[in-house]
Amino acid sequence: MLDIKLLRDNPQEVITKLQRRGIDKELIEEIIEIDKDRREMVSKIDKIKKERNEISEEIGKFKKMGDDVSDLLAKAKLIGDGIEESEEGLRKTETKIRQIILKIPNLPHHSVPGGKDSSGNVEIRRWGEPKKFNFKPKSHDEIGESLGLLNFEEAAKLSGARFVVYHGAGASLERALINLMLDTHSKENGYEEVLAPVLVKPECFEGTGQLPKFSEEIFKCPEDSLYLVPTAEVSVTNLHREEIINYEKLPIKYCSYSPCFRREAGSYGKDVKGILRQHQFNKVELVKFVDPQKSYEEHEALTADAEKILQKLGLPYRVVLLCTGDLGFSSAKTYDLEVWFPSENCYREISSCSNFEDFQARRANIRFKRDAKSKTEFVHTLNGSGLAVGRTAAAILENYQQVDGSIIVPEALIPYMGKGAIK
């Protein structure tokens, strides 16, 4: 959530940055005007309260003298009724401001390139060389079905489109990847492993920015007022909602496995084959709470931690800096990791590593104090997929396929799989 003080003090700066994201300045100007009205209402209420206090003092003084105070009491009641009415108007105005501001995206960092869509993204680096096949590489879904690893018909019978049932080595591969990711991040990269609920309250979604903007994307359980998480980012970030964190604990680093649920509204016709865009999928998430002065250093480190998994698996990938037109709603800066898919002869996104600065912390009220004498500040939050498990499995099936239809198991997974090939 944007800092209302920044809107008041530097409106043109906010307008300029949001225009880079395609946000009309009229919306910002509307908030500024409503906020001006709000401050005038606060000033008016303060004056009326002061008048009421003065009358109360007069009532007390005249009562001691034995004088009639009925007129003053009537006046005090009238003023009190006016205060209640004014405060109700103030509450409505503040609610209106919050409703608008919750729908405004984060300000992009100055290093984020301009652009209308993904065509404006900038490649930063590549790792690994795509394998040259002496046969036409098959797609992951074709491989998965031919080896009996993936069954889409069974899933459709159970749940409909965009679901999959994993069998045998397919299920083992998914589990092995989860364990490799969690072990790497918790034992080598310094993250604390967390297993959190996947059904959470709506205020958690508001805290990370999914609500109210993306309500159509979320699976809901309305009778219980709970929502299924689209990523562990939602539950894990909200572990410290409404808290003041001890500065000595920063940075706090969590890794968390969870099943993820997305309605994929508006994605009709996109990636309908295979497991790249499912309603339910597995993911290991990385979440950080950091000192604002170190957040971009921590952002680079988080991205490197996610890259480490791809390097261990020997999967060719590239790192892409997202432009303003492709930047996520809550993000100030995002790197996408895109892994190579030989059947498509292109890179596909497998992780987004984002710095939200204080955008989420402001919404979820997550703060810290540098010392006992310091004022509270909002932490900076960061997160990234470390990694999306299903997409990683799909990339392995494609990159490690053999001419006889079998799959070589990456060396890093052999201890978890107990074998070196899938046939």
Catalytic machinery residues: 262, 277, 349, 352, 391
**Cα 188 off chain centre by:** 24
Strand-strand pairing, 165-166 and 346-355: unpaired
Query: Could you tell me if 273 and 141 are in contact, meaning their C-beta atoms sit under 8 angstroms apart?
Result: yes
Helix axes 295-313, 169-183, angle to 10 degrees: 140
Q: 259: Cβ–Cβ under 8 A, 6 or more apart, which residues?
A: 198, 280, 281, 282
Q: 415: Cβ–Cβ under 8 A, 6 or more apart, which residues?
A: none
- State the DSSP code for 401: B
State the DSSP H helix or E strand holding residue 207, giving kind and residue range, or none if neither.
helix 202-208
Query: Could you tell me if 229 and 258 are in contact, meaning their C-beta atoms sit under 8 angstroms apart?
Result: yes
Query: Which tokens hold the place of 180?
Result: 């490799």
Which has the closest alpha carbon to 402: 165, 129, 131? 131
Only one residue has tokens 């890259």, namely 307
Query: Which tokens hold the place of 213?
Result: 């903007």
**Cis peptide, bond prior to residue 251, ω within 30 of zero:** yes
For the chain, count helices (H), then strands (E).
13, 18
Which has the closest alpha carbon to 219: 207, 211, 209, 229? 229
- Long-range contact pairs involving 128-135 (C-beta distance under 8 Å, separation at least 24): 128/310, 128/311, 128/314, 128/315, 128/316, 128/317, 128/340, 129/316, 130/316, 130/340, 130/342, 131/316, 131/342, 131/399, 133/342, 133/401, 134/403, 135/403
Beta-bridge partner residues of 122: 321
